[in-house]
Structure 1
Amino acid sequence: MFKKAFATLALLATATLSQATPVYVGSYQVDDGPSWTTNPTVYSATEAAALLFGGVASDYDISTISSNIANINHLGWYTIWGIGGGTAFNEDFKLDLGLPGYNAPGGANTAISAYTDDNAIGAQYTNYVFRVSSLASDSNNVPEPSSLALFGVALAGLAAARKKKAD
């Protein structure tokens, strides 16, 4: 019974400690990126965040609304080759139907990127970036003291119960 309780407690503690709270790290406008012709790479919103703020795309959540974590909508603003304005897509979306790296435009709707100077121009096409990496991949993310204290109290309780059973 104690082994089962300890295993359950350890699993819950690991899940609690590995969850990360999103932290706002900055923003970028779609048109801050290079033009299609000078850097033909197509980026998802999370790939652009990793390029600008470091890490990997999976470290980030994106919002089109604001820098408030309550407003994270997992959407990013994108520019579409040959189409005016900007369009919101999922944060990990990108499209490249041209040659690899999109260095040969194939016409309207053949490339969609969240970080390219093209048709999505202006502050209204700002992507807000939140870092959400977990403890496993981010050594700077430290568990809250209350989580550690709760885990310690639970371990002490299990040890005391086991000692009492042994007596």
Structure 2
Amino acid sequence: MIANQFLWTIFERSRGRLLVCGLMVFAGCAAPSDIDRIPVSGMVTVDGQPLDHGTIQFFPQGDTKGPMSGGRIANGRYQLDAITGPPPGQHLVRIAGKRKTGRMVQVPPDEYAPQGSVVEEMVDAVPERYNAKSELIHDVVAPSTELNFELKSK
């Protein structure tokens, strides 16, 4: 009985991760798309400093057809190739990221972090006006595009 409760607890804590993994596997098995995609890359800064860690997403707008695309930002740089890049046209761009505060904080114990574990605190580095409430609109044109984003925290 205790073993069943333990397994159920692990499943309950991991079901979101399992769903994401399943969707990634399903998406990876899809047939190649007939949609043209444009390679894009660039630099993302906040108040003149490169964004350490984050994500960038391109959402087609208006008459632009095709799927959203996106990728990771590391050390202020992002790069999407001709397979993962956005289709040509107008896009809403959302940028999210975290930064370290230098403060160490205790995390709640779970299967990955034993009781008393501490990690460096991370806080949002990008204001909502560039992510959840983004109004950044950019045109993506062939053959390739460098799009740099100089964001302001205030």
TM-score (norm 2): 0.26
Higher strand proportion (structure 1 or 2): 2
Higher helix proportion (structure 1 or 2): 1
TM-score (norm 1): 0.24
Structure number with the bigger relative contact order (C-alpha 8 A, sep ≥ 6) is 1
Higher Cα radius of gyration: 1
